[in-house]
Structures are given as structure tokens and as C-alpha cells.
């Protein structure tokens, strides 16, 4: 990890892959990841950890399956949302977005339980940032 400031615009400009987060830094046992997203991710669950989203650019939708039923939250640029652990969810960005995620180091992008993984989704625990 860098001990210098990291401009998020530079971090995002360093890669093109969609749904393939880069680890910008680490805070204690948590990764701060940035990703470019467009289209749909998959339904998945993180059994033991929450997942924090901040929309840096564009708009992100997150569908949730909760005890009360299914709903979708809309996150415009600058909005934050935390998906509680154990909640089945599916992020999607019809027009594309840049996002920052804060989640426990080692957390898989496709969760602990998930649908079949399509080719456009990178099943990873995050990639090192090469700026």
C-alpha cells in the first residue's frame, strides 16, 4: 500500500476492466476498493460481513432480497449505502458507474453464496492497484 495520497481519478484511470475492483488502500482489516461497473453483477450474499458502497460517478442500483420482499435502492453520484451481512443483493449500473467499496479484506466479489458467474464478472478478492 502507498504511503502517499492516491487520487481516485488516477486509480480509476489505471484500469478498464468492469466488475474487477482494485484495492486502493487498507484500513485495519478492511480493503478500500474502486471499480468501474456497467450492466448487471449477480445475486450474491456475504454471510459474515457488511458491504459499503459509495458512488463516485454515474448511478448504481442495488436490488435486495429481504424478509419483507424484494426492493431496489438507487444510488446517484455521491450517495452511500451499506448492504447488511446476510442480505442477498445484486448491483447493476445500466449506464455505467465508478464506485468505491469498503469491505473486509479477503471478501469475494461474488460472495459466499451466488448465482452462476457470467464471464463479465470477475470473481476476485480484489486486485492490486497499479498506478
Domains of the chain, start order = 8-113 (2.60.120.10)
Cβ–Cβ under 8 Å, residues 56 and 122:
no
- Asked if the model's pLDDT at residue 11 lies above 90, the reply is yes
Average pLDDT over the chain, rounded to an integer: 91
**Percent of all residues in the chain with a pLDDT value above 90, rounded to a whole number:** 76
The mean pLDDT of 114-130, rounded to a whole number, is 77
Cβ–Cβ under 8 Å, residues 34 and 9:
no
**pTM of the model as a whole:** 0.90
Instruction: Collapse the DSSP code of 8 into the 3-class scheme (helix H, G, I; strand E, B; otherwise coil) and give the result.
Output: helix
Q: Which residue has the higher pLDDT, 54 or 119?
A: 54
- Asked if the model's pLDDT at residue 58 lies above 70, the reply is yes
The mean pLDDT of 107-112, rounded to a whole number, is 78
Q: How far is CA 23 from CA 6, 62, 70, 91, 95, in A?
A: 11, 21, 30, 19, 23
Q: Which residue has the higher pLDDT, 2 or 27?
A: 27
Amino acid at each position: 500500500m502507498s504511503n502517499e495520497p492516491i487520487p481516485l481519478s488516477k486509480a480509476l484511470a489505471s484500469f478498464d476492466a468492469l466488475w474487477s475492483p482494485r484495492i486502493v488502500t487498507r484500513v485495519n482489516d478492511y480493503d478500500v476498493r474502486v471499480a468501474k461497473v456497467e450492466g448487471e453483477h449477480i445475486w450474491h450474499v456475504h454471510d459474515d460481513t457488511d458491504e459499503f458502497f459509495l458512488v463516485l460517478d454515474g448511478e448504481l442500483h442495488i436490488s435486495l432480497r429481504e424478509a419483507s420482499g424484494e426492493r431496489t435502492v438507487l444510488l446517484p453520484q455521491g450517495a452511500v449505502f451499506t448492504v447488511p451481512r446476510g442480505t442477498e443483493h445484486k448491483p447493476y449500473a445500466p449506464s455505467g458507474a465508478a464506485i468505491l467499496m469498503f469491505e473486509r479484506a479477503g471478501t469475494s466479489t461474488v460472495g459466499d453464496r451466488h448465482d452462476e458467474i457470467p464471464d463479465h464478472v470477475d470473481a476476485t478478492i480484489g486486485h492490486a492497484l497499479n498506478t
